[in-house]
């Protein structure tokens, strides 16, 4: 009987760890899909944030080109129209990127390891915001000075019936319309940039 008791005691001591091991293995197995899904979601998040960052860099380059065009010697109506079209495109792109950031903000988890990407996005958003403000200031000054010059040239052209500064009245009017549209597009760009900067800031805070 004593030997039988010892045998059962030994069996319990051996079987108990084996049972715990089996339970642990079952738990680990059940958690594996969740861990894999979380890893997949994080990889997808990294990919999307990288793509957003790449697109922000492209918008930054576009604004560099717009600033160069606006600070160049006197541009004609066609060149101003081209700059306006570029600003319109950047505005639309910034609104699209704001929507992507809003989507990422809703899904991101604190401490997810995405902070370096969201910080870079915020940095470029601030950079774009500063450049958009400069574009708006340049366009506003050009529109103001162009309006005064256009009125002066129109008066001179009306008196003499000749070109003023080598431009006809039709050309001067086209220049005025181009400058007016440029100023409007620049203000629209500034608004889109402010929106992007705001959501990028919240995205960075949420990822910390």
Residue 149's Cα: distance from chain center in Å?
37
Residue 5: the pLDDT is 41
Residue 75's pLDDT is 72
pLDDT of residue 194: 98
pLDDT at residue 155, as a whole number: 46
d(CA 7, CA 4): 5
In the numeric block, the tokens 């084996």 are attached to 18
Q: Which residues fall within 8 angstroms of residue 136, CB to CB, at 6 or more apart? A: 183, 186, 187, 189, 190
Burial class, 161, CB count within 10 angstroms (exposed 0-12 / middle 13-18 / buried 19+): exposed
Per DSSP, the three-state class of 163 is coil
Q: Say yes or no: domain 46-207 is CATH 1.20.58.
A: yes
Q: Please give the distance of CA 118 from its chain centroid, rounded to a whole number.
A: 11
What is the full DSSP assignment across 96-143? HHHHHHHHHHHH--TTSS-HHHHHHHHHHHHHHHHHHHHHHHHHHHHH
What's the pTM value of the predicted model, to 2 decimals?
0.73
What was the pLDDT predicted at 6? Answer: 41
Give the pLDDT score at 76: 76
User: What pLDDT score was predicted for residue 166?
Assistant: 54
Give average pLDDT by consecutive 10-residue segment, the chain, 208 residues.
42 43 53 52 80 97 95 82 96 98 93 91 98 96 68 50 59 86 96 98 95
Note whether 16 and 72 are within 8 A (CB).
no
């Amino acid at each position: 009987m004593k030997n039988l008791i010892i045998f059962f005691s030994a069996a319990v001591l051996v079987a108990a760890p084996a049972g715990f091991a089996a339970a642990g293995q079952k738990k680990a197995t059940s958690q594996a899909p969740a861990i894999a899904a979380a890893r997949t979601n994080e990889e997808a998040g990294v990919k999307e944030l990288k793509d957003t960052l790449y697109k922000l860099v492209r918008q930054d380059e576009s604004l560099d080109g717009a600033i160069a065009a606006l600070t160049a010697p006197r541009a004609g109506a066609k060149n101003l129209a081209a700059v306006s079209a570029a600003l319109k495109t950047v505005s639309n792109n910034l609104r699209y990127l704001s929507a992507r950031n809003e989507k990422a903000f809703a899904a991101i988890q604190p401490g997810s390891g995405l902070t370096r990407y969201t910080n870079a996005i915020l940095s470029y958003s601030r950079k774009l915001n500063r450049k958009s403000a400069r574009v708006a200031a340049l366009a506003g000054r050009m529109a103001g000075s162009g309006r005064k010059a256009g009125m002066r040239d129109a008066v001179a052209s009306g008196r003499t019936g000749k070109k003023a500064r080598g431009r006809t009245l039709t050309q001067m009017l086209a220049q005025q319309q181009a400058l007016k549209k440029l100023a409007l597009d620049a203000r629209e760009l500034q608004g889109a940039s402010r929106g992007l900067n705001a959501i990028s800031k919240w995205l960075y805070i949420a990822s910390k």
